[in-house]
Amino acid sequence: ALFCDPVFGTELEMTVKPGDNVSLYCDRAVTFGSNILWMRNSSHKDLPFLEIDPLLIFSEKFPRFSFFANSSSNSHDLHIANVSVSDEGTYYCVKKELKITEKNGITHSKHEVEYGILRIRLFVADPVSVNESTAVCTHPPECALCWTLLLSVCPVCLLLSSFLSFIAGYYICGTHGAGT
């Protein structure tokens, strides 16, 4: 099977009303020779596993689904217009890339698959039960940004603190040493 045993990290839950439009964030970047697919697993017995390929969107097999370029992540997010209960499920994006190699004069090709870490559980609620306090997230938590800042700012502060301590110690010791 092409898609098996994905490993996921973050799961977001989104609750929307029927008829809403929703955009789902993809955390896989597109590179030359690759494309983004979206997958949906559903707990409904009548809704099978779904693979949303850009070619199927452009052929209008999924008229309410569209991909749009996300320049900040260099990826393709999924937009679902006029959401209905049949859209419920867990969505995740997959980067699929064709790799071509040559061995002993024979060209081999295979698809390499890279699963997104982010899973988005989409729930479609009865419009009456959805109230103002329902959180609707379309982007992953900014934890990665926080950790990146923390891990880059702390070493800089440590180096600056060490440097200033060295300078202060040099002047203090230099002053006492000169008077003796």
Q: What is the pLDDT of residues 30-76, one digit of tens each?
A: 888 888 888 888 776 555 556 666 666 556 677 788 888 888 888 88
What pLDDT, on the 0 to 100 scale, is given for residue 4?
Answer: 42
Q: Which CATH superfamily is domain 10-140 in?
A: Immunoglobulins (2.60.40.10)
**For the segment 123-169, what is each residue's pLDDT rounded down to a tens digit?**
998 766 545 444 444 444 445 555 455 455 556 556 666 677 778 77
Mean pLDDT, to the nearest integer, of 76-80?
88
DSSP category for residue 72:
T
Residues 40 and 52: beta-carbon distance below 8 Å: yes
CA triple 119-122-124, angle to 5 deg? 175
- What tokens does 100 get? 């071509």
* Residue, of 8 and 165, whose pLDDT is higher: 165
Residues 25 and 16: beta-carbon distance below 8 Å: no
Confidence band, pLDDT 50/70/90 cuts, at residue 175: low
CA triple 33-118-7, angle to 5 deg? 80
What pLDDT, on the 0 to 100 scale, is given for residue 17?
Answer: 93
* Gap between the Cα atoms of 54 and 70, Å rounded: 15
- Quote the pTM value: 0.60
Which H or E element spans position 24? strand 22-24
Lowest-confidence region among 50-54, 104-108, 145-149, 170-174 = 145-149
